[in-house]
Amino acid sequence: MNRFLPARPADQKALLRYRVLAYTTAVLLIVLVFAGVPLQVWDHNLWVVRIVGTMHGYLYLVYLLVAFDLTRRLRVPLLWMVLVLLAGTVPFCAIAAERLLTRRFARMADEHGAAAPMVAGAPRR
């Protein structure tokens, strides 16, 4: 028997923490790659890379902790866990991983007969 009950408030808070950090990390990485690096290469302007790169680096460490916590709660396979943890290093991948984990969370809530969590963007049935 699976002891995971996604309707628990602690699990919903873990999902919310993960979603916020996934989007924040993804947006900072997108700004860094598509604005910071071109400015650094063509204009020799380092301020975007220094500021956004540092912010992304520190938030990525927090993202790793939060993503690990959520993937353990959802009991995802080890390969999926590693891919979710690495998603914060590739532009747009953290957003895709967030969507997959949110759908898995909602699906697990449905399987356990619990009311589906009120998560923006979660599939409705």
Average pLDDT over residues 64-90: 92
The full length of the chain comes to 125
**The tokens of 61 are what?**
């460490």
Q: What is the pTM of this model?
A: 0.78
Q: How confident is the model at residue 123 (pLDDT cuts 50, 70, 90)?
A: low
Mean pLDDT, the chain, integer:
84
What is the pLDDT confidence band of residue 114, given thresholds at 50, 70 and 90? Answer: low
**Residue 85 to residue 39: CA distance in whole angstroms:** 28
Contacts from 34-43 at CB under 8 Å and sequence distance 24+?
34/91
The ranges assigned to domains in the chain are: 9-111
CA atoms of 64 and 67, how far apart (whole Å): 5
CA neighbours within 13 Å on the CB side: how many for 116?
Answer: 14
Which pLDDT does position 5 carry in this prediction?
46
Helix, strand, coil shares, percent, the chain, to 5: 75, 0, 25
51-75 average pLDDT score: 94
Instruction: State residue 12's pLDDT score.
Output: 87
Q: What's residue 45's pLDDT? A: 86
The per-residue pLDDT for 1 is: 39
Q: Using 50, 70 and 90 to split pLDDT, how confident is the model at 116?
A: very low
